[in-house]
Amino acid sequence: MKPGLKDREHRFIMQTYRRAEVEFVRGDGALLFDEDGREYVDLLSGISVTSIGHCSPGVVEAVSSQSQDLLHVSNLFYTEPMVDLAERLSLRSIGGPVFFCNSGAEANECAIKIARKHAHGRGIENPQIIVFEGDFHGRTYGALSATPGLAADKALGPMMPGFTAVPFDDAEALKTAFSTETAAILLEPVQGEAGVFPVSEETLSTARRLCDESGALLIFDEVQTGVGRTGSLWAYEQTAVRPDVLTTAKALGGGVAIGACVNSEELGQVLEPGDHGSTFAGGPVAASAALAVLDTVDEPDMLRRIRELGGFLATALGQISGVAEVRGRGLMIGLGLDAGLDARQLNAELLNRGFLANAPRPDTLRLLPPFVLSDRQAAAAVEAIGSALSDLRGKAGSQ
Ligand SMILES: *Cc1c(COP(=O)(O)O)cnc(C)c1O
């Protein structure tokens, strides 16, 4: 690291993150390079953001050429990239209109607004949104209040009312909590921050049926699962259900900040002028970057590659001793470790070996590798995880 960088970070940045002791200066595909010129294989993709690799040529080209022409004009006027992007997102998902924003939390804020407004339209005075324990929906107050694990933090209270949490993937609890005041069920089809836990088909179809019977909305937060991560453009495509509202962000801009909320064609235009807005949203640079991302990801060969590489990694990692289970879909992978093994230590060992991952919980290592990871890099990652785990097991055994 550059001398003094850590001290200045501590002095001048609000300390909301614990950073690893490495300073990155360059990225190329699945690789990152630190200040000392050391190479790392990125198995995290900036938490499912740089999914098509660092500085993906299409994204770099789109950003540089658009930024020569126009950076920003505001949403008071028309620009073409955002309309192109909205059309593409809509037609490749649930067919209705899109609201653009700049992050995942904001995409969920829009979904919450749609759910509440739609519920008021159905005569519900006090709309409630049901969420799962362990779900993560973001850090703004609406999204935070929808995130049971964080909403419990009294120091940040009071939270926004109107959310009911039920145990994860519990169809019976969902039925019990569901009432005439339920405006929506909001869920991650595969929980990400909780440690990679897919929701069962049974629970998804129960959620769908409850919403169909009552007129409530089923909202999928695909901020982490979307844009190819699970091996289809959206995770819902691999299930029997279709949400009424879908949110996306993270990988959508390939590293440029952008989020979007889309609702179904059947719902149509729920929000009207004055209901919502965002100054930077849908700006031409971010929209052009996202169009370049979709050009790359939304291709049968690419989606097949994600599923194949995901299958290879799941099988190979499942054979390593110390790995109790492999969870996930496509290239969204959670490695559940044997009791006594600490995923945070494993993650630190991997960083020493030149591989980036993360440990969302003490017993789980999470991998969100870029789709451009080569066979050789994938094999090296498996090897590194095996040797790091074997070192850890040696240490755990000698204690
Ligand atoms: C990361 C994430 C968010 C929040 O996205 P931000 O861009 O950090 O606001 C919301 N939902 C899910 C499922 C996420 O993984």
Per-domain boundaries in the chain: 5-56+300-398, 57-297
Instruction: Bin 157: left if φ > 0, else alpha if -120 < ψ < 50, else beta.
Output: beta
Q: Is the CB of 221 under 6 A from ligand 1?
A: yes
Bridge-based pairing of strands 31-34 and 39-42 is antiparallel
- Dist CA 168 CA 174 (whole Å): 9
Cα(310) to centroid(ligand 1), Å: 22
CATH of segment(s) 5-56+300-398: 3.90.1150.10
Q: Is the CB of 192 under 6 A from ligand 1?
A: yes
In what helix (H) or strand (E) does residue 33 lie, and over which residues does it extend? Answer: strand 31-34
Cα(37) to centroid(ligand 1), Å: 31
- Dist CA 116 CA 26 (whole Å): 43
pLDDT above 80: residue 396: no
Cα(105) to centroid(ligand 1), Å: 6
This prediction has a pTM of 0.97
CATH of segment(s) 57-297: 3.40.640.10
Structure tokens at 361: 């919980």
Q: Is the CB of 137 under 6 A from ligand 1?
A: yes
- The domains spanning 5-56+300-398 and 57-297 adopt the same CATH topology: no
pLDDT digits (tens, 9 = 90+) for 147-189: 999 999 999 999 999 999 999 999 999 999 999 999 999 999 9
Cα(259) to centroid(ligand 1), Å: 10
For the CA of 47, the closest atom of ligand 1 is: 1
Residues 304 and 310: beta-carbon distance below 8 Å: no
Cα(104) to centroid(ligand 1), Å: 4
Q: What is the percentage of the chain residues whose pLDDT exceeds 90?
A: 98
Residues 258 and 289: beta-carbon distance below 8 Å: yes
Q: Minimal CA–CA distance to 140: which of 99, 98, 114, 104?
A: 104
CA dist 270 → 108, 110, 112, 233, 262 (Å)? 15, 11, 12, 25, 11
pLDDT digits (tens, 9 = 90+) for 245-289: 999 999 999 999 999 999 999 999 999 999 999 999 999 999 999
pLDDT above 60: residue 399: no
Q: Minimal CA–CA distance to 232: which of 326, 289, 302?
A: 302
